[in-house]
Every structure is written in C-alpha cells, then in structure tokens.
Structure 1
Amino acid sequence: MSADSNALHWRRMAAGDLAAVSRMAAIIHTGFFEEDAIYSERLELYPEGCHLLQAASGEALGYAITHPWRLYSMPALNSMLERLPTTPSTYYLHDIALMPAARGTGAAGRIVSLLAAHAGEQGFDTMSLVAVNNSAGFWQKHGFEIDDRPELEAKLRTYSDDARFMLRRLR
C-alpha cells in the first residue's frame, strides 16, 4: 500500500529527525551502511540540503541529503566530510531514499526538482551523484546522464558493482 501523494510533503530536516533518518536508512539501504554520524554531519554542514518526506500523519517516509562538493570527487561511502570545499564545483546528491509506502507517489521527482532549483539558485552548473541498486534509469528520467570515467571506476566499486557516476547539467 502506498501513501497518498497529496498527503506527503518535503520539509527541511531538523536534528530531531535524525533518528527517523537512521531507522529508514537501515531499512532502505541494507547494503550501504552509514553510521548515524554521517547524517548528523551532513545536516550540520549544509542544513539547506537536507530534507525529510513527511506524511500528513507525521510519519517520516523518506529523506534527501545533499551538499555542494567537488565534481568527479564523490565522497567515499560512510565517510565524514569534515568541511565543505571552499570552491565547490557541483551540487552533490548524497542520498535520496524513500520508504516503500512512498514509492510511486512522485515524491522522488518532486525532491529532485526542488534540489535542482536550489542548486541553480546557488549558482551551480551541475548536479552529480552515484547511482546504485540499478537506479540509473530513474536518474536518467530526471535529466542525469551516466558519465563513465576510468579514473572513477575503483572508487565506484567501493559502493557496488553496479554503481554509476551521473551528472545533470543545469545550464
């Protein structure tokens, strides 16, 4: 059973949401463990890039964690950033995750649109991400293209065998 798309809304994440984010990540990303400190640090470093999908009932059904970064230099899985770059060159989508009840509601497309608008307002020319779980098709529907670069292959394999670096041009 999926949630009613009209009863779902994205809002800025708050520190009090981190327990729900951790709970959802444990369910959604069983093969991509990240410590709670990763989510907490991303929220602290770039709160305007962290969002929570909430049902009308108040239940958390998804999250998005994003931040400015350096193009072609994706952070290693489960690694602390320590600080954002002083001259970022891409808007990086660290993670967008939806609980099964929120899938198929259009919520993922809505947050991608909101993030693209934010990235454009901040002056970024690109958005980038690492697609896993055979999700490249979803990202292609939202304007991302696979960007195969031999120098990224080893790092991508630390995510998964199907990991693909993807890029969306905003300008």
Structure 2
Amino acid sequence: MKKMIVATLFTVLLMSGGASLMAAEFTVYVVRHGEKAVAESNPPLNEKGQERARALAKLMAKVELQAVYSTPYRRTEQTVAPLAQAKGLNIQSYRAGEAEQLVRQLREQGENALVVGHSNTVPGLVRSLGGSSEELTEQHYGDLFVLHFRDDNVHQIRLMLPPY
C-alpha cells in the first residue's frame, strides 16, 4: 500500500511540476561567424569560413535545436545556413545592438538555441548569459561556447571548430 501511495504521489508530482522542471534545463550555443571575404560592406564568407560553417553543421548534426539566431549580415547568416537547413529551422534575425533583449528571450524561452554573432558581440553575449569569455580579436575564429542551463546554474564549455 505504501508503495502505491508513493508511486501515486510521485506521478502527481511529475505531472504537476514536471513541465517546469524540464523547462529549466536547456543549452545555448554561441559562435562567431566564419572567416569573411575581403569586401567593403556586408562581406560573405570566404572558402575557409564556408568550410567552418560546414564543420559547425556536422558537429551539431545530432544536437537537438529549437532555434537559430543570426544578425542580418551575409557572413553570420551563411555561417548558420547549413545547420539551419539540415535541421529544417528558419534563421531568426536579431540586431547586434539588442543583444540584451535576445538574452532575456533565450532565458525566458528555455530552448536549445544557436546564436551567431561577431568578434565584438560574442564575448558580451556569453557573459550576459552567465558564462565567461575574453575579448575576441578580428583574427579570432572557430570558438563555440556551449552554455548549459540547469535550474539557476550555468555550466560552460568551449570548443574549437575546424579548420584549425
């Protein structure tokens, strides 16, 4: 009888609070766009940047993502396009100057999401999400910041995307 009561209470607890417990765990991936071509304004990715975009898509092929965010520039959109296409996701646009709004949205939605930014925005995004990052130089490409949220804790790892 006690086992049945405990099982029933456990089931009720899961049904009543399970959704909120599960919503409290999610991962945000933050990456800088791949290497860009030499151009005056809004450059596309160069060959190495395209290679890095394909490497990102391959690395994250089995990762469950609900959203992909990019600033409205060719190089950022091209960085996430192979992955978004493979996952059947639309690339959602955000403005680099409105990163705090994006951070609030990511935390409120609690979804697994990939955000691509720039050398001058990625460190701030990572820090605003509760992680750590030094400033990135103009020549700094390939870092993938993985920020895993569970309840009120943030755990971070940093990966390097090929080509090295």
Q: What is the TM-score when the length of structure 2 is the normalising length?
A: 0.31
Q: Which has the larger radius of gyration?
A: 2
Between Structure 1 and Structure 2, the one with more helix by share is: 2
Relative contact order, CA 8 A, sep 6+: which one is greater?
Answer: 2
